Structure 1
């Protein structure tokens, strides 16, 4: 027998509450039990108007003895003692879900144990969770829980719930969240005996997320899994050499040049298999995506932290969505570092790796009829191969004095020179923002008091120089030698924080479109750009490059055709 009643000292420590307050709460509790039982396929059937829910799984099932006890108050197989509360590895642990359901609905459980049992049992429970009827059942291994007439004995509660459409939307969101955390599970949801939606299993959340978001493809996303060494919790407050525990961070991000949202609704954080609310970690994610997305757009990001259970206190909220996570600042830093790594440009973050160098020939074939400027001997240019795994890009041409054509081992890219250089300068300014004194002060007129205060906040030295005149004696180093420095200072005076000023400075200082560049100059821009922290977009969120991969070119030119067939043979 696995299910046992908890001792009183453990019950008193549990932050329990009324966990069944809606249709979604019933689904959540039953699904978590199914996952704890090792289920890989879960079918959820709903008749909302009848307040009827059924959850069937292919988990390991329950023995007859466990079926008789599972609906008793504080009865569980997940924990045994108070020490287990600090080492929770399951989704459920309080032992009150089925008991709470039995109090507000008609509860029936059919289950067949997977080991050594040829048949299962079906049990119906009374309002206090005691088994009142028992019969054999011919079912497949696993468990089927049926909840009917939910809140039938509490009609006032039914009236106080949100509209049914809102409750169904909450259930859909709940299953989406759980599916991201448990990508190996197949989900089938039915409503009024009709298919509602399905989620196919995958190896990671990378295969799940495109099934949840319309118009998002797997190529728009990037998966990064990193192992993180964390100090053992009992060593954090001692002077002893820390013991190291291995944790893992799984990160799926929407590439900022391809995928973003109008609302901040798809920044998700999961801890050890459960989606949680951790505003501090969510804010770290937003900060890590700063100046990579267009204005008023938000990232798509799912972070799943898998760490030692002793670092987590789940015993905070009945729904277990609010937790205490030890070493929160440590995880903020690690998640920010993981996002920075995922945003970098390297071979691992690009798909369809193949070896092909025929792109230059394609350009040369069109040279006489197009404005391409292809170097007669592009291979004489020294190819740059760096040692840190960055993509090897070779500048081969310039289109309309605006786009750099770059070849790599899997095709070619078009890079807009101005915004690529803008990204380079912006990150340089972030790392080394310098205010220098001007040899000759710049005199500005008709400044408002707010403009003067803004320049002073940016660290510039400014003082009155007469009636409605102001002398600016220092400026950002990147602007100080420019002929349009006075116009740039006026632009900076119109408001914004330091980051906004750095963006404006980089934008004004970057190479303009329409500027003719030599191959050496183009290569220099490429080498600097691909080493930036966020090379996919400019600080305003515009995409910097267009990828033309060899596989796409092969499909367009029908290179998979057999020559004989193409001639009608």
Structure 2
């Protein structure tokens, strides 16, 4: 009935023509690729060898440079602290005993010399430091200390540390400041005697390190003397198991690098890789 309008509607709904990609002919070129598992394995092995060589060079030329001389003691100790961890002592191989006084050990390519007496002395010393509770001797009558208020507070707050050092006190919280603490027991050990001077030293140490287990210098001297007497002496022949035990002990203490008297326990002798290259 309305042909013109009907024709117009058809135009409105007519979809535009879509552009379709035309096929393109590509010129391809085949290039042969040389591949060999044998060559690949060889390259991987060479890379691994280069990494090992670099690590070996670092080990040889950088880890231990200090000489075995008194003037180089600090440098040698610093190197050992940096390069030797506690678990490495268990890994060391026993080569033997030298001159009935030194243990020769090997860790990878490094050779070390260990003083058997000094290392055993340091282990025994640290065990005494950590675990010994000194026995005190009661005084006939409690002794007033008349400590300054600050020192008195330090003593009261760390009284358990004083007890482990053999000092016992009677504390009267109701008394006036500087009169709250009385000494009732002093440590004694054979020829060693202690007194107020050792208490003052311990208070001074605890003022810098509150709550830390400290020992007065004279107690340390006593422990060092005890440790020396009970340690393996120079001139004593040791079995492999006895030498191994000393090595294991070095890995169990905090500061294994010198004995209580300052003598070095361990020094680096040589590196086998450097010797073989020379």
Structure with more relative contact order (C-alpha pairs < 8 Å, separation 6 or more): 2
Q: Which has the higher helix share?
A: 2
> TM-score, normalization: structure 2?
0.42
Considering fraction of residues, name the structure with more strand.
Answer: 1
Higher radius of gyration, 1 or 2: 2
